[in-house]
Amino acid sequence: MQNAISGLGLAPDAAMVTFPIGLFLPGSDIAPVEARKREFYDGLTRWTPSVAGGAGGASRVIAVPGATFEDALVNANHAMLANQWGDGLPLWPPTRVRVDWILQGTPRPRAHALGTFPPRGGVATVETCAIALAMAGGRPEYLPVLVAAVEAFLDPESGSEQLQAASGSAFPVVIVNGPIGRQIRLNSGFGCLGPDPQHPAGASIGRALRLLQQNVGGARPGVGTMANYGGLRYTNVVFAEDEDNLPAGWPSHGTERHGFAPGQSSISLVFANGATNIRRRGAKKETPAEDALQGMHRMADFMRVPNLAGLAGYERGAPGILMIPGVVAQTMTGLGWTKRSMREFLWEHSRIPAEQLRRAGGYAWIEIDASQVARESAALDPWPITASPDNFVLIVAGGGHPTNSYWLQGYSPGVVGREIRVPEGFGRLLAEAERDLGG
Amino acid sequence: MVTLEFFDPSGRLEVKQPHARRLDALAGKRVGFVSNEQWQAYRMLPLLKSLLERDFAGIEVLPIDAFPQGNALIGTEETAEQVKKSGVDAVIIGNAA
């Protein structure tokens, strides 16, 4: 709650009367409200904030001693955890040398403010991004992607103001298009959502974004974020679309959803809160057409669940991100499928019969949704999980193997795109990466 | 001895406005509720209303539905305007997060 208060530009404190969660559950004994009524009365009459205001100016510098460098490194990691700035994994201390090195990756001044991170309201600057990227083991050539992702994250259209603190365990998914993906070693193929020493960029960028969410935005579990589970939050999800394997006639995601010119490096940010593998390929003597159709049904069936995650972006967000390997996209294109026809199939076949929605209590959630379009959708039977087929994010990515596809369950009021801006001399940074990491 | 110096990663905060001034007393005042209509607000806030009315002479506590309710509405400028126009001296916001 203090995060939310400071996020409004007030001193980070509030007159609050807090109770254990049991009081807020159906059928609870609410007698404690009367027992503690004086605290409510004092909140209206006598309360004063215990914090006068926040610190201003440049980032504060911490000094940590040690008998040796290794000792100081250990102590620095301890200090970062003690201050609740870490994520439990080892961190690079964001020294001035390391932060200045990373700042070579942007054409913008280090003090340039990108906005305030909800709910706490900490100011995100280019320097703050570089600090987070330094902690996360990043490199300068990753910074343009992180800065673009932060800009998109802070766009009100993304929904981050609510999702940062909400219980639904939302995590940002950053989809990268354009040449920068290959240039900075972002994964678009085998294992693109996981660790990969050949493609280390996604983990560092996503981890840095998460550290910003936590440290600048105040989203600490159980305090600033009430996410029940918080899955995929160590590194969020950052990957590139496999543009080399897009079928002929398929626009890239950045071009199709955001209108970026082909070849423009860009990011697209979507919130998700679930991830699952879907076995897509047939197992016996299916014809190619049968194999494709069965796979489409299996994917649509998986989306047809009444847990209402997609309500968050019903009108113009995304019910989820469907990832299919390039080999599958190319095969299906050869069979006459198009990106549009796949979306329309998924939209039609993921609709939920009213009876299933009713027995799961789904209508109560639809009726209280902020979107009029979503509320009016309650009249539709079967109920479409999103307002339009266009809302499905369909991405070509993943290893060149036809068996599986992947569904990132959407929880995203909007899908926000940003162009990526690189500094002059970016080629030198890429050459240095090749020197450091191998060709 | 080695010293590692590194940046605090938490960024700075900007305090742009003060908290609302507290009331000198509750007797004779007009108090409203802004409710998200969740987490048993429909039980707890009316209880609070009855307690205030019992304990403070001349207090007027508006019903919980005097202003728009629900997360989708309580943070809007329209709701803030309604609260201001109502002439309340104080507002209690509930319930939980």
pLDDT for position A137: 98
Mean pLDDT of A123-127: 96
Q: How many CB pairs under 8 A join A and B?
A: 173
pLDDT in tens, A376-403: 999 999 999 999 999 999 999 999 999 9
Residue B20 near chain A (CB below 8 Å): no
Using the predicted structure, report yes or no on whether residue B96 has a pLDDT greater than 80: no
A interface test, pick of B1, B3, B4 with most A CB neighbours within 10 Å: B4
Identity of the residue in A25, A48, A56 whose CB atom sits nearest the CB atom of B12: A56
pLDDT band, residue A203 (cuts 50/70/90): very high
Q: State how far the alpha carbon of A300 is from the alpha carbons of A219, A278, A349, B7, B69, in Å.
A: 33, 10, 6, 48, 36
| A10 to B17: CB separation less than 8 angstroms, yes or no | yes
The total of other beta-carbon atoms located within 10 Å of residue B4's CB is: 18
Using the predicted structure, report yes or no on whether residue A78 has a pLDDT greater than 60: yes
Q: Minimal CA–CA distance to A323: which of A192, A127, A161, A158? A: A192
pLDDT in tens, A330-346: 999 999 999 999 999 99
- Hey, which residues 21-80 in chain B have their CB within 8 Å of chain A? 22-26, 31, 39-40, 43-44, 47-48, 51-52, 55, 70-72
φ, ψ (nearest 5 deg) of residue A352: -105, 125
- Hey, which residues 13-42 in chain A have their CB within 8 Å of chain B? 13-14, 23-26, 28, 30, 33-34, 37, 40-41
Residue type at A1? M
| B6 to A95: CB separation less than 8 angstroms, yes or no | yes
Neighboring chain B residues of A128 at a CB cutoff of 8 Å: 9, 11
Mean pLDDT of A194-204: 97
pLDDT in tens, A269-296: 999 999 999 999 999 999 999 999 999 9
| A10 to B16: CB separation less than 8 angstroms, yes or no | yes
Tokens of A432: 């240095």
pLDDT for position A21: 84
Mean pLDDT of A294-304: 96
What DSSP line would sit under A344-397, residue for residue? HHHHHHT-B-HHHHHHTTHHHHHHT-S-HHHHHGGG-SSBPSSS-GGGSEEEE-
pLDDT for position A55: 44
Mean pLDDT of A169-183: 98
- Measured between alpha carbons, how far is A119 from A216 in angstroms, rounded to an integer? 9
Using the predicted structure, report yes or no on whether residue A7 has a pLDDT greater than 90: no
pLDDT for position A57: 57
The pLDDT > 90 percentage for chain A reads 87
Task: Please name the residue of chain A whose CA is at the shortest distance from the CA of residue B24.
Answer: A45
Give the count of alpha carbons within 13 A of A130, CB side only: 27
Neighboring chain B residues of A223 at a CB cutoff of 8 Å: none
Residue A97 near chain B (CB below 8 Å): no
pLDDT band, residue A63 (cuts 50/70/90): very high
Using the predicted structure, report yes or no on whether residue A4 has a pLDDT greater than 80: no
Neighboring chain B residues of A66 at a CB cutoff of 8 Å: 1-4
* H/E segment holding residue A207: helix A201-215
φ, ψ (nearest 5 deg) of residue B93: -105, 130
Residue A65 near chain B (CB below 8 Å): yes
Residue A75 near chain B (CB below 8 Å): yes
Please tell me the distance in Å from B48's CA to the nearest CA on chain A: 7
CA angle (B64, A121, A173) in 5-degree steps: 100
| B4 to A99: CB separation less than 8 angstroms, yes or no | no
A interface test, pick of B3, B5, B13 with most A CB neighbours within 10 Å: B13
Neighboring chain B residues of A23 at a CB cutoff of 8 Å: 40, 44
Residue A439 near chain B (CB below 8 Å): no
Using the predicted structure, report yes or no on whether residue A161 has a pLDDT greater than 50: yes
Give me the torsion for CA of A390, A396, A402, A406, rounded to 10°.
-70
What DSSP line would sit under A101-158, residue for residue? HHGGG-SS-TT-EEEEETTTTEEEEHHHHHHHHHHTT--GGGHHHHHHHHHHHHSGGG
Mean pLDDT of B52-76: 91
Identity of the residue in B19, B43, B71 whose CB atom sits nearest the CB atom of A30: B43
Mean pLDDT of B5-31: 91
pLDDT in tens, A229-266: 999 999 999 999 999 999 999 999 999 999 999 999 99
How confident is the prediction for chain A on average, in pLDDT? 94
